[in-house]
Amino acid sequence: MKNETLIKIKQQFPLTIKRLGINGEGVGYFKKKVVFVPGALPDEEVVVEVVKVHPKFSEAIVKKVRKRSPYRVKAPCPVYEQCGGCQLQHLRYDQQLKEKRDILIQALERHTKISIEDLDIRETIGMEDPWKYRNKSQFQLREMNGRVVAGLYSMNSHRLISVPECIVQHPATNKVNNAIKQIFEDFKVPIYNEKTKKGIVKTIVTRVGVQTGQVQVVIVTAGEKLPRKEMIAAEIKNRLPEVVSVMQNINPKQTSLVFGDKTLNITGKEFIDEKMNEFTYELSARAFFQLNPEQTVKLYNEVKKAAALNGKEKIVDAYCGSGTIGLWLAEGALEIRGMDVIPESIEDAKKNASKHGVKKAKYETGKAEDILPKWLKQGWHPDVVIVDPPRTGCDPKFLQTLLKIKPKKFIYVSCNPSTLAKDLQAISQMYEVQYIQPVDMFPQTAHVECIALLILKL
């Protein structure tokens, strides 16, 4: 444990910040050891105090900024430093886009043997107005001094930070949340208390159809009982005519997951509608949908550009969810086939295809690595495979299957540069990276989405 003698908790020292880490924190080196410093920016000289020591790195906080970054700005959110929902509000937006591209480059340097100089890594596609974009909020509830407080837990803690006006949320969600807090107070609805395990309402989940203006409210409760349920629903409709769907989700478990397994309709529709270009989507309480529809259109158009279809291609939409990416490309394809392990997603994908008159789409429940070889045996060979996996990246078996099937083009939509880099390395002998296009889906945060176009080597 030589490291323990080198760096100690509460030790203070000056540090030059070299870059941003994957979680948006400043990264510096002290005695050749990595030090992560939230809130510090590249090229800043800061004095830090160590708060945690690990075998290979330390965590520290800023005590003083000796030399400021020219891109440092005052974060406009009053609870920015306590809340932890955003990580980069103190960095000017044009520079956020450059740093996100750099986070991608760091991941490629760390996890691949691909020559970065030879790669076409494009400038990050940002937003004209990088605020008020999130179409969904999940706010925990607490009762404090007789008032109902809604907000988010502070970083790495269970301390609830009240967020009456979140500036990355769509204004409709803020308005609805504040009105519902007031309704809960007026009707004396018992708010769940984690310590005593008493009370009923845990969380409010609000989602807005940005193009349609429709709002859905999901009241998450600890048990099935919700007193004066109909009166509460009537009052929501009275005060908030834009709310067209009020649902109740029951989650009795002590878990970080917001939703339980059972969802009931209290009043109105079971879903809200959302539009993106010519497509309309039905969003039920637990349906996955991108949180930033404006940037999603740009993302899907970049996928379309990468696919460059001529009407003759057979396409696989792996990890297809409700079929959104595949349907976006349907017009230019000969046939689309998708698969997902979640049966409800496949039902949604079939419904979406049928609703939009897409007859050349076929969907199956199951794993891509099981279904693709079966289709190949039946004589069906895809020209383009598109994948949009979870943060953990592609299943290694899926990548092995891809190398056996050898589609001409592989388009990888990633929400995690580290797993993207590892997966690109795993198939680098057979596939060449044509280019990577970062897209900023979550301004003010450290997240970066990328589209990588890979071509089969001849």
Say how many Å lie between the first and final Cα of the chain, rounded: 50
- What sign results for the dihedral spanned by CA atoms 151, 153, 158, 159? negative
Q: Would the CA dihedral through 90, 92, 94, 99 be positive or negative?
A: negative
- For every residue of 354-404, DSSP letters joined together read HHTT-TTEEEEES-HHHHHHHHHHTT---SEEEE---TT---HHHHHHHHH
Which of 413, 368, 414 lies closest to 391, judged by CA? 414
Q: Reduce the DSSP state of residue 167 to 3 states and report it.
A: coil
DSSP E strands, 101-169 = 136-144, 147-153, 160-162
| Annotated active-site residue in 77, 83, 394, 415 | 415
The angle at the Cα of 406, spanning 371 to 304, to the nearest 5 degrees, equals 85
Residue 450, both tokens: 């990328």
Best CA proximity match to 132, nearest among 92, 76, 71: 76
Angle (CA) 330 336 337, round 5°: 150
How many angstroms separate the CA atoms of 53 and 51, rounded? 7
The pair of structure tokens assigned to 377 is 């045996």
CA distance 63 to 360: 60
| Distance, CA of 131 to CA of 116 (rounded, Å) | 32
Q: Is there a catalytic annotation at residue 415?
A: yes
Q: Which residues are catalytic?
A: 415
